[in-house]
Each structure stands twice: as C-alpha cells, then as structure tokens.
Amino acid sequence: MKPLFSEIAALLAFASGLGLAVNAVSPAGIAVTRALPITDLDDRYITAEEAKARFEGGRSVFVDARTREEFAAGHVEGAVSLPLEGFEARYAEVAKLLPREAELVVYCRGAGCSESRQVADQLQRLGYERSRIRIFRDGYTAWKQRGWPAEK
Amino acid sequence: MTGESRIRFLRRLGLLAVGGVYVAAGALKVPDPKAFAVAIVEYRLIPEGLVPLLAVVLPWWEILAGGMAVAGVWRRGALALLAGLSAAFLAVGTVTLLRGMSPPCGCFGIGSDKIGPATIVMEASLLVLTGALLAAELRGKPGSGAVGSMEAGAGGGTTPAARG
C-alpha cells in the first residue's frame, strides 16, 4: 500500500505544480491565493445597483430565466420571459423583443440559481455579443426585497 | 483469441477509455480557468477561497493521471487517483441533484451540459470501470507499460517502487 500512496502523492504534487506553473505564465491565468468574487471570474455579472441603473437607463432589456410560473407570480417590470427549459421554442416566440443591438440583462431567482448564466450562454451561442449580455447575479429576490419596479 | 488475451484486450480498451476521457476533460478546462472556477462556484459546495486553486490544479490531475494510466507509468497511483476523482464527482453530482440544483456540469469545460441523471450515470460508469481496472492492477495480474505495448504482463508493478 505504501508505494501506492507515494505514487498518488507524487502525482498530485507534480500535477499541481505543473498546473500552477502553466497558470503563472498563461494570459488566462487567475489569482489562486485569494477568493475571487464571481464578478471577477465572469465579467458579465453585475450587482443589483448596476442592474437598477440599467433599468432606469431604459436601454436594456431584462430577460427572466426562471420558469413561466415564477415569471407569472412576479417579475422585473417589462422583463421578457425566456426560461432555460424549452429555451429554443420560447426564443423563437420572443426573438423580436431581444434586438441584437440592445443590452440584455438576464436574471433568475438570486445568487443560488444558475439559469441566468445558462440562458446568457445560450444567447451568446445564438450570436449575441458577449459584451452586450449582463447577468444580474442577485436576481429577482434582491429586486423584490428592494421594492424596485415589478409587475405580475 | 484466448480467454486471457481477450481479457487483456478489454483491459487495454478500458484504460484507453478511462484515460482518454480524463485527458480530454482536463485539457478542455485548462484554457479557461475562470470559466471552470465559475462552474465550481455554482455547485456551492467548495469554500470560495479554495475555488481558484482547485480550478487551476484539478484539470492537471485529470490530464496527468489519465495520461499515466494509459502510458503505464505509476499506473496504480494514476488509477487510484482517477477512482477518487470519479467518486468525488459522483458524490458532488448526486448531492447537487438532491438539493434540487442543476448547474452546468463543467465536466468538459465551457458548454458542458447541466447536471442531470445522464451525468450521474456517466460518473458512476467511470467509477465502476476505473475501480475494476484498479482492482486488477492491485491484484498484480495486469501488465506494465503503455497500452499499445502491453504484453504478457507478469509482475504487475508499474513503478520502480512496485517492482522493487
């Protein structure tokens, strides 16, 4: 057993060292010695305040990635429902509401959900520019808690 | 083909499959550690302080262990590490599904499907296959050397330490 554990330990050490070395010289490398907030890891993420500023600016289209039932129960005023489930069929229905020159702000329930990022990824695959897609990380929960404009 | 050579052939196939899957999985994550870190964050199981480090080193564990399992260098250690990774991925996927979450798997870098029953089946299959290959190695039956050059296989040791 001892040689087995030695092999595993050596392999882990060597591979980790290699990974850290590659990361240190790679243009895509990241800082490994501190926690990175998700807004640093993915530049599409925006805070609640940034989402509100975009809402007030009136040039961004809010995209609700939650289920239709959740959307019906309440959503950001003027948001377009585009759930992850059945994305393609629904996109065909709402494509006209999502012009490519507009900035899209995608949200779901809050920091514990990932549908907003997945819908953002799908939109990018459809050709929307990454720089025009924003993900409102704290989502509808934060929007509602702050009493910002919502509708059913 | 005799029974023994058939078993040897199946072992080679198994090693190529397991090693190949892990090398591919690791290689697809290396170019974009940020995207992989985001995928890890979305599982909400790992302390955020550890996420960047894990995003940088884990793909290399997969690449090296997968490659060494195929090449026959430290094969026991490589297979044991791959079995451990498979078990960890299976546990993480199962817990995530049980919590009602379905983040993107992140298994093969950007664009991976979201976690679902298919992911669990894939991880469980990998664990079973890797476990079987490791068990064969530990019994001392299989051969050493790279998959393409495995011959009689006596001795089973794949490292100087194991042989000595």
CB A75 within 8 A of CB A151: yes
Best mutation site among B34, B68, B73 for testing chain A: the one with the most A CBs within 10 Å? B34
Phi-psi map region of B74: left, alpha, beta (phi>0 left; psi -120 to 50 alpha): left
Hey, are the CB atoms on B33 and A14 less than 8 Å from each other? Answer: no
According to the model, what pLDDT value does residue B49 have? 85
Mean pLDDT of B6-20: 92
Using the Cβ of A14 and the Cβ atoms of chain B, whether some distance falls under 8 Å is answered with yes
Dig out the tokens for A78 from the structure. Answer: 């003027």
Identity of the residue numbered A57:
G
According to the model, what pLDDT value does residue B154 have? 38
- φ, ψ of residue B2 to 5 degrees: the values are -75, 170
| Complex ipTM more than 0.85, yes or no | no
Mean pLDDT of B106-126: 85
Hey, are the CB atoms on A36 and B51 less than 8 Å from each other? Answer: yes
Sign of CA dihedral A85, B106, B52, A130: negative
According to the model, what pLDDT value does residue A8 have? 95
The secondary structure of residue A64, as a DSSP letter, is E
The separation between CA B63 and the C-alpha centre of its own chain, rounded to angstroms, equals 9
**Distance of CA A66 to CAs A88, A94, A103, A135, Å?**
15, 15, 19, 13
First to last CA, chain A: 63
According to the model, what pLDDT value does residue A36 have? 74
Hey, are the CB atoms on B56 and A32 less than 8 Å from each other? Answer: yes
Hey, are the CB atoms on A11 and B101 less than 8 Å from each other? Answer: no
According to the model, what pLDDT value does residue A37 have? 74
Residues contacting A92, CB < 8 A, separation 6+:
none
The answer to pTM > 0.80 is no
Question: Which chain B residue's Cα is nearest to A114?
Answer: B103
Report, as ranges of residue numbers, the positions in chain A whose pLDDT lies below 50.
Answer: none
% of chain B exceeding 90 in pLDDT: 54
CB B76 within 8 A of CB B134: yes
Residue B150 pLDDT > 60, yes or no? no
Tell me which H or E stretch contains A141: helix A139-145
Interval A104-145: pLDDT, tens: 999 999 877 888 988 998 999 899 999 999 999 899 999 999
Interval B77-86: pLDDT, tens: 999 999 999 9
Mean confidence (pLDDT) of chain B: 84
